[in-house]
Structure 1
Amino acid sequence: MHEMAVCLGIIQIVEEEVRHRSLSRVRSICLEIGALSHVAPDAIRFCFAVVATRTIAEGAALEILELPGTAWCMSCSSTVEIARRGDPCPCCGSYQLQVTGGEQMRVKELEID
C-alpha cells in the first residue's frame, strides 16, 4: 500500500512548514487528489490517522478534495472528464485522449496555530 508512504510525505511537508513558521499545532490539512493519481482517498484517510500519531499533525482534521480526471480528445477536439486512463471519449467514443488533469496530489492548505 503506497498510501502509507504518501502519508509519511504529507507529514514531512506539514512538519517542515510548522518548523519554518515556528508554530505549534496543526488544526487541519486539505489535500487535492486527482482521479488519475493512483492514490485512493479512503486509504489516505486510514493511513493518515496511523501515520499522524505522535506527530505535530496528530488530531488534525483531514479534508480531501477529489478532482476529476480530464482529457482532450484528438478526434472531436473536446475537453472531457474521464474516470480512469483507457476510458473512451464520452462525446465520440474515440480512445485518442490526451490527459490534461487529475493526475496531481498536493497539500492545498494547512490551518495551523
Structure 2
Amino acid sequence: MHEMSLMAEVLRLVEEDAIERGIVKVDRISVIVGELSNVLPDALELAFCYFQKQECSLISKKTELAIIREEAKARCKECRKEFAPDYRIALCPHCHQLNTEIISGESFQIESYEGSESCEDNNGR
C-alpha cells in the first residue's frame, strides 16, 4: 500500500513547515485527492491513523485528517466539451474522438494544515 509512504511524506512536509513557523501542535491536515490520482482515500486515512497512534511528531490522536475529493474532468480537444472520464485516456462521449485532455482529478497535494504554538488543549492542560 503506497498510501503509507505518501502519508509519511505528507506528515514530513507538514512537520517541516510547522517547525519553521513555530507551530508545536497540528490540529488538522487537509489533503486533496483526485479521482484519477491512484491514491485510495480509505487507505490514506488508515495510514494516517497508524501514524497518529505513533505520536512521534506534531500530530496526536486529536489531529484530524480532511480528505477533499477532486472530481475527474476532461475536455475534448476536437469539440471542446467537458465530461467526467473513467480513466486517464478517455474517449469523448460527445464526438467519440480520443483527442482529450485531463483538466482535473489527478491531484494529490496538501491543501492546508492548522496548528498552534502551544501544546495546551482547550481545557488549559
TM-score (norm 2): 0.81
Please say if residues 25 and 57 of structure 1, whose CA atoms lie closer than 8 Å, have aligned partners that are also in contact: yes
2: distance between equivalents of 1:91 and 1:30?
35
Residue 93 of structure 1 deviates from its aligned partner by 3.6
SS in 2 for 1:83: coil
Q: Does 2:76 correspond to 1:70? A: no
TM-score (norm 1): 0.89
Counterpart position of 1:2: 2
Please say if residues 33 and 104 of structure 1, whose CA atoms lie closer than 8 Å, have aligned partners that are also in contact: yes
SS in 2 for 1:84: coil
Please say if residues 68 and 82 of structure 1, whose CA atoms lie closer than 8 Å, have aligned partners that are also in contact: no
- Summarize deviations over 1:31-77 as a string: whole Å, max 9, x none: 11111111111110001111232221222100001001121112321
2: distance between equivalents of 1:47 and 1:92?
42
Decide which structure has greater strand share: 1
Runs of at least 5 residues in structure 1 that lack an aligned partner in the other structure: none
Residue 97 of structure 1 deviates from its aligned partner by 1.5
The number of aligned residues is 113
Counterpart position of 2:41: 41
SS in 2 for 1:48: helix
Among the aligned pairs, what percent are the same residue?
27
Residue 94 of structure 1 deviates from its aligned partner by 3.2
Counterpart position of 2:121: none
SS in 1 for 2:13: helix
Counterpart position of 1:61: 64
Bigger Rg, structure 1 or 2: 2
Residue 11 of structure 1 deviates from its aligned partner by 0.7
2: distance between equivalents of 1:32 and 1:71?
18
Residue 20 of structure 1 deviates from its aligned partner by 0.6
2: distance between equivalents of 1:61 and 1:71?
32
Q: Which letter does structure 2 place at the counterpart of 1:19?
A: I
Residue 83 of structure 1 deviates from its aligned partner by 3.3
* Superposition map of 1:1-113 within 5 A: 1-52=1-52, 53-54=54-55, 55-59=57-61, 60-113=63-116
Runs of at least 5 residues in structure 2 that lack an aligned partner in the other structure: 117-125
